[in-house]
């Protein structure tokens, strides 16, 4: 039996989606409790830092900043992440990541080829799978993943077949399904 292979195209939006999903963390976006704690710490630090100069106004200013952090942190974090990623990949500047890819699943590894590079990942390097509505991210390190868009540029196998193939070689792989991205 010949190894399964797939063809797909990675666009700048796919790379942005990966980084935004990765920034959410393993357990999703920060909870309201975590954001509230962060906001209170910001409020207290601001108040303590400015108390000697501004007194009660420092407390008010710290409170305003704390509320701002609580309300706008998720939006600011996503906006900053997206801007940085787009700056790195503007105009297809990274042909190793962007463009057409062929991925082959062999008995020993996942082999990925693009117009600019060729990589091989032993099955033991697969750490987890993150499946979203439009992507499958195959983590091969704590911050590195193979980005497989599932929105129409994927040819050769379905997402279910890809996941089954990976689980066939890495029985204990962690598989997370998320909405969005």
Q: What's the pLDDT tens digit per position in 22-63? A: 777 654 555 667 767 777 777 777 777 777 777 777 777 777
137: Cα separation from own chain's centroid: 8
Q: Do residues 43 and 36 lie in contact, with contact meaning Cβ atoms separated by under 8 Å?
A: no
In 3-state terms the chain splits into helix, strand, coil percentages (rounded to 5) of 50, 25, 30
**In 3-state terms, what secondary structure has residue 5?**
strand
Residue 111 pairs in a beta bridge with 104, 120
pLDDT grade for 167, boundaries at 50, 70 and 90: very high
| Measured distance CA(160)–CA(162) in Å, rounded | 5
Overall pTM surpassing 0.75 (yes/no)? no
Indicate the CATH number of 4-22+92-177 among 2.40.170.20, 3.40.50.150, 2.30.29.30, 2.60.40.1760: 2.30.29.30
| Measured distance CA(70)–CA(39) in Å, rounded | 5
User: What residue spans define the domains of the chain?
Assistant: 4-22+92-177, 26-90
Q: Do residues 149 and 9 lie in contact, with contact meaning Cβ atoms separated by under 8 Å?
A: yes
| Measured distance CA(74)–CA(63) in Å, rounded | 18
């Amino acid at each position: 039996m010949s190894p399964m292979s797939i063809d797909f195209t990675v666009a700048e939006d796919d790379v942005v989606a990966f980084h935004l999903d990765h920034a959410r963390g393993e357990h999703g976006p920060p909870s309201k409790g975590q954001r509230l704690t962060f906001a209170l710490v910001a409020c207290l630090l601001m108040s303590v830092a400015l108390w000697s100069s501004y007194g009660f106004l420092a407390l008010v200013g710290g409170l305003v900043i704390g509320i701002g952090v609580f309300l706008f942190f998720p939006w600011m974090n996503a906006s900053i992440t997206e801007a940085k990623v787009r700056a790195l990949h503007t105009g297809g500047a990274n042909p190793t990541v962007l463009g057409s890819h062929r991925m082959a699943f062999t008995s020993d590894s996942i082999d990925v080829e693009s117009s600019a590079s060729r990589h091989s990942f032993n099955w033991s390097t697969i750490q987890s799978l993150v499946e979203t509505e439009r992507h499958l991210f195959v983590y091969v390190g704590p911050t590195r993943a193979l980005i497989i868009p599932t929105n129409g540029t994927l040819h050769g196998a379905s997402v279910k077949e890809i996941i089954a193939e990976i689980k066939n070689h890495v029985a204990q792989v962690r598989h997370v399904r998320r909405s969005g991205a």
